Amino acid sequence: MGTRELMGDIIPRVPLSEWIESILDVLTTLLATATRAVSTVFRNGIRGITGFLDTLPPIVLILVLVGIAWAIAGRRIAIGSFLGFLFIWNIGLWGAMVSTLVLVFFATILAVALGLPLGIVAGLSDRFFLIVKPILDFMQTMPAFVYLIPAIPFFGLGATSAIMSTVIFSIPPTIRLTALGIRQIDKELVEAADSFGSTTYQKLVKLQLPLSLPTVMAGINQTIMLALSMVVIASMIGAGGLGGEVWRAIQRLRPGDGFSAGLAVVILAMILDRVTQKIAAQDRKAS
Amino acid sequence: MSDNNSEKANVKISLRNVYKVFGKNAARGVELSKKGLSKDEILEKTKLAVGVSNVSFDVYEGETLVVMGLSGSGKSTLIRCVNRIMEPTAGEILIDDVDITKLNDDELREVRRKKFSMVFQSFALFPHRRVIENVEYGLEIQGVDKDVRREKAETALKLVGLDGWGDYFPENLSGGMKQRVGLARALSVDPDILLMDEAFSALDPLIRSDMQDELIALNDRVRKTILFITHDLDEALKMGDRIVLMKDGYVVQIGTPEEILTNPADEYVQRFVANVDITKVLTAQDVMKIHSPVAFVKDGPRVALRKMKEHGLSGMFVVKSSGELVGHLTADKAAQAAKDEKKWLDQVTDRDSVLSVPLDQPVRTLFPMVESGNPIAVVDEDHHFKGVIVRGSILAALAESHSDSAPIEEPSELASKVLTPGTSDEPASSEADKENN
Ligand SMILES: Nc1ncnc2c1ncn2[C@@H]1O[C@H](COP(=O)(O)OP(=O)(O)O)[C@@H](O)[C@H]1O
Ligand SMILES: [Mg+2]
């Protein structure tokens, strides 16, 4: 306290937080119509899908999800997933888990849709890579819940804000590993493609993307894991789901409920991780 | 400009004062290099790395031109400038009289598709594509129909002896086979020019020698202009119609293998040559052709003529039935003798101007003798005929015998380090640099 006053006496404090707030103010008013529209679309979309999934009997949805896991990752992981889902259903957190899963799903799709092209550009352009790399480093060292705050003025409390901040938080690995995957391709391979007269597009589609796919998939896997952790944290701004259960348990001082919800998050994380890792591994084998 | 070359073969590639400098403000590196500063001085002064400095030479159509030099001498940089995989900093590069340094991206791509193929030291096969898909890559990106390109790719695979391997992935192939695929991929687009950057350097000595032989045989059929890079003098001697010797980015000497061996331009070339100077170790015995046909004195001119015709020779050595060398007989003289109804060959055989050397004559001293084009007979102490030496057999034998016997016969430590196949580039270069300084 004392040092800060002393500091303030000598050099006036830089009004950093005031600046940021006024910038956000300006942006929110300027973009109000757009953000409100996006917010509505998202809220309705998510509400619709979650509502539909809620009408399904849990066992049906579980079988569908386990079927997907089987197709991608094989029998062992499918059985594990089945037991995990049954357990979550049993402890009464199925509904919460479904809404968390829907949020993770949407956030991941958006993060990949944005991150993949950015990663490709960063993989091909040295200059862009030099600009993007420190930004990614910065983004990954910021504490997670800082991302929640700017989302609220734009999108209000709720699922849309949760998804937006989740996208921002979870996008770095996809960008970084896509760029890395393209950059680590043997120089002579790229020269070979060039020497035959490939266009930039041909080189990308026939060489660089297929060869960087395992690395890209590892990035997407990390993005999914980050998205899950962020969606849980986003319960603070009303995202609901498993995070909401934890949040409520904290407020009501019920460690048992909090722990159960936490365990459900861990189980979901393990299932998502194993299944998506399997995709990456399969790609590696094929290449 | 092509007029002065029109009596010779067409000039396919012409490099005119080509420079490549790495770093920002590369043009300044060119200026300094033109002023005569060395690569090291420029690096010290400006942090610019001179890769290629003022290189000019022509490659004729159908010729195999070898660029040779120690690691770091700028060979890879130079060959990459030729198809502009690397952008030359200054100079002109004419391909069929068109300066490709002036082409825009589309034109350049078209030239790459139509005229060039490249083969790489590390093979550079696409690991996610099957062998056949690798081979058809060049055609695929040109939009050639699937059936057509598959057929051409199969033909190219057959050409390199890999019939039936199309469905394998590159990782399942041995090094030699991988490079055959690399070669097939290069040939499938039917380019005018093959650019080969140390294409055989990563292979085991035996496989490497096989590949060299096969490339020579194959090129007799397909007749490409080949720019071949190597750091190995033996390979250069064997493959090259002409050799360009590079050092620190510039050209030290250009010449035929014989010229390089017999007439090294400076100390650098001399050391290079001396390091593999098997001409000191090898003798006439090692390089002679043993099973060369001879005429016997009692044969008579008609039999001798028939033997010459049979073997496509314009002349033959004549020996007594004991094996003792009598002399040399040309086809003309034999024909004349036949007309004159001469019975014995010794009456018409030329005994005086015939060149003969003992078995242990050093090969080095043979070069000036074969220069004339006349064959040399090799004889033992009793003057018995043992074999023949012709121009080509010396070079072939040099290249062959060295790679077989290098460790035993090489007196120089440096030589075995620099030139033993399979030794990695890098230590060789630093070793040699030290020696050179
Ligand atoms: N991308 C690059 N950046 C900077 N210097 C380079 C680069 N590529 C090559 N060089 C330099 O150019 C010189 C020639 O290299 P290179 O052409 O690879 O030689 P070689 O193929 O004969 O071994 C070396 O001194 C090397 O350090
Ligand atoms: Mg090289």
Full residue range of the structural domain in which residue A154 is found: 16-286
> How confident is the model at residue B136, as a pLDDT?
96
Nearest Cα neighbor of B110 from A63, A107, A271, A197 is: A197
Selected for mutation to probe chain B from A127, A185, A196 (highest B CB count within 10 Å) is: A196
Which pLDDT score, from 0 to 100, does residue A208 have? Answer: 97
Counted residue by residue, chain A has a size of 287
Please report the number of interchain residue pairs, chain A to chain B, with beta-carbon separation below 8 angstroms: 61
Whether pLDDT at A67 is above 90: yes
CA distance A195 to chain B (A): 6
Q: Do B416 and B406 fall into the same domain?
A: yes
The alpha carbon of B80 and the centre of ligand 1 are apart by a number of angstroms equal to: 11
Interface with A, mutate which of B136, B137, B139, B196 (most A CBs under 10 A): B137
Give the residue-averaged pLDDT of B154-171.
94
- Whether residue B51 has its Cβ less than 6 Å from ligand 1: yes
Cβ(B178)–Cβ(B125) under 8 Å?
yes
Residues B298 and B256 in one domain: no
Whether the per-residue pLDDT at B280 is higher than 70: the answer is no
Do B289 and B225 reside in the same domain of the chain? Answer: no
**Helix (H) or strand (E) run with residue B246 in it:** strand B242-247
B128 close to A (CB below 8 A): yes
Q: Considering B234, B261, B276, which residue would you say is the last residue of a domain? A: B276
Does residue B193 sit at the A interface (CB-CB below 8 Å)? no
Distance (Å, whole) CA B119 – CA B211: 13
Q: Could you tell me if residue A98 is inside a domain?
A: yes
Residues of B in contact with A211 (CB under 8 A): 126-128
Query: Among A22-31, B78-87, B233-242, which stretch is predicted with the lowest mean pLDDT?
Result: A22-31
What's the pLDDT at B4? 46
Residue B171's Cα: distance from chain center in Å?
A: 29
Which site among B118, B187, B192 would you substitute to test the A interface, given the most A Cβ atoms closer than 10 Å to its Cβ? B118
Interface contact flag, A197 B137, Cβ < 8 Å: no
Task: Convert B339-373 to b/e letters by CB count within 10 Å (16 or more is b).
Answer: eeebeebeebbeeeebebbeeebebbebbebbeee
Q: Are residues B126 and B22 in the same domain?
A: yes
| Cβ partners under 8 Å of residue A220, min gap 6 | A108, A112, A173, A174, A276, A280
B432 shares a domain with B334: yes
Q: Do residue B373 and residue B400 come from a single domain?
A: yes
Shared-domain flag, residues B310 and B266: no
Q: Is the pLDDT of residue A177 over 80?
A: yes
**How near does any CA of chain B get to the CA of A207, in Å?**
7
Q: Which atom of ligand 1 is nearest to the CA of B86?
A: 1
Judge contact between A98 and A53, C-beta under 8 A: yes
Q: From the list B112, B127, B128, which residue is nearest A195 (CB)?
A: B112
The conformation of residue B62, written as its DSSP 8-state character, comes to T
Are the beta carbons of B389 and B379 closer than 8 angstroms? no
% chain A with pLDDT above 70: 95
The answer to whether residues B236 and B353 belong to one domain is no
What is each CA distance from A213 to A110, A186, B422, in whole angstroms? 19, 14, 33
Which tens digits make up the pLDDT trace of B195-230?
Answer: 999 999 999 888 888 899 889 988 888 889 999 999
* Crossing angle between the packed helical segments B146-159 and B175-188, to the nearest 10 degrees: 130
Q: What pLDDT score does B420 carry?
A: 36
Token pair recorded at residue A90: 């049993």
Angstrom CA distances, B218 to B60, B194, B394, stand at 18, 13, 22
The mean pLDDT of chain A is 89
Residue B323's alpha-carbon distances to A286, B144, B350, B380, B382, in angstroms, are: 68, 63, 17, 10, 9
Q: Which residues surround ligand 2, an ion (CB under 5 A)?
A: B 76
Q: Which atom of ligand 1 is nearest to the CA of B77?
A: 17
Please give the angle made by the CA atoms of B217, B222 and B223, to the nearest 5 degrees.
90
- pLDDT tens digits, B115-125: 999 999 999 99
* pLDDT tens per residue across span B284-293: 777 787 777 8
At A286, the pLDDT band (50, 70, 90 cuts) reads: low
Q: What is the pLDDT of residues B33-75, one digit of tens each?
A: 998 898 999 999 999 999 999 999 999 999 999 999 999 999 9
Q: Is any atom of ligand 1 closer than 6 Å to the C-beta of B77?
A: yes
Residue type, B274: A
The answer as to whether A161 is a domain residue is yes
The answer to whether B151 and A232 are in contact (CB under 8 A) is: no
B69 Cβ closer than 6 Å to some ligand 1 atom: yes
Protein residue closest via CA to atom 13 of ligand 1: B51
Tell me, yes or no, whether B197 and B318 share the same domain.
no
pLDDT given for residue A5 in this prediction: 58
* B86 in Cβ contact with B80 (< 8 Å): yes
A200-217 average pLDDT score: 95
Same domain assignment for residues B249 and B288? no
Burial (CB < 10 A; 0-12, 13-18, 19+), residue A52, is exposed
The beta-carbon neighbor of B189 closest among A188, A196, A210 is A196
Give which of A80, A60, A56, A85 is closest to A70, Cα–Cα: A80
- Which amino acid makes up residue B219? N
Number of H helices, E strands in chain A: 13, 0
| B116/A contact by beta carbon, under 8 A | yes
- Position with higher pLDDT, A47 vs A220: A220
The label of the residue with tokens 């058809």 reads B136
For residue B288, the enclosing domain spans 277-437
- The average confidence (pLDDT) of chain B is 83
**Which residues share a beta bridge with B377?**
B356, B388
pLDDT band at A188 (very low <50, low <70, confident <90, very high): very high
Beta strand pairing status for B355-358 and B376-379? parallel
Report the residue of chain A nearest B86, measured CA to CA: A191
Cα-based distances in Å from B280 to B96, B117, B243, B360, B391: 42, 39, 21, 11, 17
Q: What percent of chain B has pLDDT over 70?
A: 86
For residue A204, list chain B residues with Cβ-Cβ distance below 8 A: none
Q: Other CB atoms closer than 10 Å to residue B37's CB: what's the count? A: 18
- Nearest atom, ligand 1, residue B75 CA: 22
Q: What is the mean pLDDT of residues B150-156?
A: 95
Does any domain span residue A10? no
Which of the two residues, A65 and B312, has the higher pLDDT score?
A65
pTM of the model: 0.74
**Model pLDDT for residues B353-364, shown as the tens digit of each residue:** 778 888 888 777
pLDDT band at A75 (very low <50, low <70, confident <90, very high): very high
Q: What pLDDT score does B133 carry?
A: 97
Q: Which ligand is nearest to the CA of B81?
A: 1
Check whether B417 has a pLDDT greater than 50. Answer: no
Residue B165: pLDDT over 90: yes
**Residue B8: predicted pLDDT:** 57
| DSSP secondary structure string for all residues of B365-418 | GGHHHHHT---EEEE-TT-BEEEEE-HHHHHHHHHHHHHHHHHHH---HHHHHH
Ligand at shortest distance from the CA of B432? 1
pLDDT per residue as tens digits for the range B167-187? 999 999 999 999 999 999 999
**A222 located within any domain:** yes
User: In the predicted model, is pLDDT for residue A4 greater than 70?
Assistant: no
- Indicate whether B164 and B207 sit together in one domain: yes
Report H helices in B196-292.
205-222, 233-239, 257-262, 267-275, 284-287
Q: Is the CB of B170 under 6 A from ligand 1?
A: no
Written as six digits, the tokens of A172 are: 């770095």
Partner-chain residue, chosen from B120, B128, B189, that has the shortest CB–CB distance to A192: B120
pLDDT confidence of residue A114: 97
The residue with greater pLDDT, A70 or B344, is A70
Q: How many CB atoms neighbour CB A286 within 10 A?
A: 11
Q: What CA–CA distance (Å, rounded) separates A191 from B118?
A: 9
Q: Final residue of a domain: which of B276, B308, B323?
A: B276
Which of A33-37, A70-74, B147-151, B170-174 is predicted least confidently? A33-37
Tell me, what CATH number does A225's domain have?
1.10.3720.10
Are A197 and B138 within 8 A, CB to CB? Answer: yes
Statement: residue B10 has pLDDT above 70: yes
Q: Tell me what pLDDT residue B2 has.
A: 41
- Strand pairing class (B11-22; B64-68): unpaired
Which of B219, B243, B276 is a domain's end point?
Answer: B276
The pLDDT of residue B416: 35
The pLDDT-based confidence of B418 (bands split at 50, 70, 90) is very low
Share of chain B above pLDDT 90, in %: 48
Please check the confidence at residue A69 and state whether its pLDDT lies above 90.
yes
Two tokens, residue B44:
């010290």
Decide: B53 in ligand 1 pocket, CB within 6 A: no
Look up the CATH number of the domain holding residue B123. Answer: 3.40.50.300
Domain total for chain A?
Answer: 1
What is the tens place of the pLDDT at every residue in B65-76? 999 999 999 999
Domain count within chain B: 2
Instruction: Tell me: pLDDT of B408 over 50.
Output: no
Ligand 2 centroid to Cα of residue B425, in Å, is 8
Average pLDDT over residues A93-104: 93
* Predicted-assembly ipTM surpassing the 0.90 threshold: no
Q: Which CATH number do you get for residue B390?
A: 3.10.580.10
Shared domain check, B356 and B209: no
**DSSP state at residue A208:** I
pLDDT value at position B163?
A: 92
A6 lies in some domain: no
Measured from the Cβ of residue B123, the count of other Cβ atoms closer than 10 Å reads 24
Tell the residue number behind the tokens 């400098």, with chain if given. B21
Give the number of C-alpha atoms closer than 13 A to the C-alpha of residue B297, restricted to the C-beta side. 14
Whether B1 shows a pLDDT value over 50: the answer reads no
- B188, closest residue in chain A (CA to CA): A196
Identify which ligand lies nearest to the alpha carbon of B244. Answer: 1
**For residue B73, which atom of ligand 1 is closest to its CA?**
22
Of B7-11, B234-238, B258-262, B350-354, the poorest mean pLDDT is in B7-11
**Continuous segment of H or E residues that includes residue A249:** helix A241-251
Inter-chain residue contact A186 with B126, CB threshold 8 Å: no
B101-121: average pLDDT: 96
